[in-house]
Amino acid sequence: MPKPKPSTITILGVDPGTRRMGFGWIEFDACEPDRLVARGCGVIEPEGRLSLDRRLAAILGELEAIFAERRPAKLVIENVFLSKSVSSAFVLGESRGVVLAVAGKYEAEVLQVATKTAKKAVTGRGDSDKEEVRVVLDRLLHLGGELAKLPLDASDGLALAYQGWREHVTQHMATKMATKTATKNGATL
């Protein structure tokens, strides 16, 4: 009897913005979650002269194409943070709304994380700067310097996906340990 095909899980990370939105996706086998592969990252950058509603529409179209092609099981998005400007916070919220709506349409699980949490997952420190995150992430994912060729927003999106993967692995290991302990004690789950 042939082995069943491994189940691939795709996690998409998105660093929201209306001028430039970073994204990155990671894939791994559900049975071997420690073997992850960075499949890509980039930025969605609508024309700067467009009005906000047109930029959001452009972002919506590009995000839907990414979701349709990749079918991520999970979306990891930067959580709301306090901004220096109230109007900037509102615009960022509108951008996040577009991302969350697309995730809902494609039935992706949503994980909202703080920027510091994603930075800590990559570098071990929540106060790392964007360049340090990019360098460490490039090394962790064996990308051979490719991230340096892209805007920092792209590596921010990939860092969010990496955080989603780390959380998945943590949950997977906890479930395995609980099952092992329950089985050892004669319980069934």
On the question of pLDDT at 180 being above 90, the answer is: no
On the question of pLDDT at 169 being above 90, the answer is: no
69 is annotated as an active-site residue: no
Query: Residue 4's pLDDT band (boundaries 50, 70, 90)?
Result: very low
- In the chain, at which residue ranges do the beta strands (DSSP E only) sit? 8-15, 21-29, 32-44, 74-78, 109-113
Query: Residue 171's pLDDT band (boundaries 50, 70, 90)?
Result: confident
Task: Convert the pLDDT of each residue in 80-100 to its tens digit.
Answer: 766 667 888 888 899 999 999
On the question of pLDDT at 167 being above 60, the answer is: yes
**What is the pLDDT, as a whole number, of residue 183?**
63
167 is annotated as an active-site residue: no
Query: What global pTM score does this model have?
Result: 0.87
Q: Which of 62, 78, 138, 156 is catalytic?
A: 78
**What is the pLDDT, as a whole number, of residue 6?**
57
Q: How many CB atoms lie within 10 A of CB 85?
A: 9
Question: Do the beta carbons of residue 176 and residue 30 sit within 8 Å?
Answer: no
Query: Residue 106's pLDDT band (boundaries 50, 70, 90)?
Result: very high
**What is the pLDDT, as a whole number, of residue 1?**
40
Question: Do the beta carbons of residue 72 and residue 51 sit within 8 Å?
Answer: no
- CA 45 – CA 118 distance, rounded (Å): 22
Q: Which of 27, 138, 153, 156 is catalytic?
A: 153
**What is the pLDDT, as a whole number, of residue 2?**
45
Query: Residue 178's pLDDT band (boundaries 50, 70, 90)?
Result: low
| Cα separation values, 172 from 4, 43, 145, 165, Å | 20, 30, 30, 10
**What is the pLDDT, as a whole number, of residue 17?**
93
The residues, ordered by sequence, that sit 6+ positions from 89 with a Cβ below 8 Å of its Cβ are 80, 82, 83
94 is annotated as an active-site residue: no
Q: Which of 15, 62, 138, 156 is catalytic?
A: 15
On the question of pLDDT at 70 being above 70, the answer is: yes
Task: Convert the pLDDT of each residue in 143-161 to its tens digit.
Answer: 999 999 999 999 999 999 9
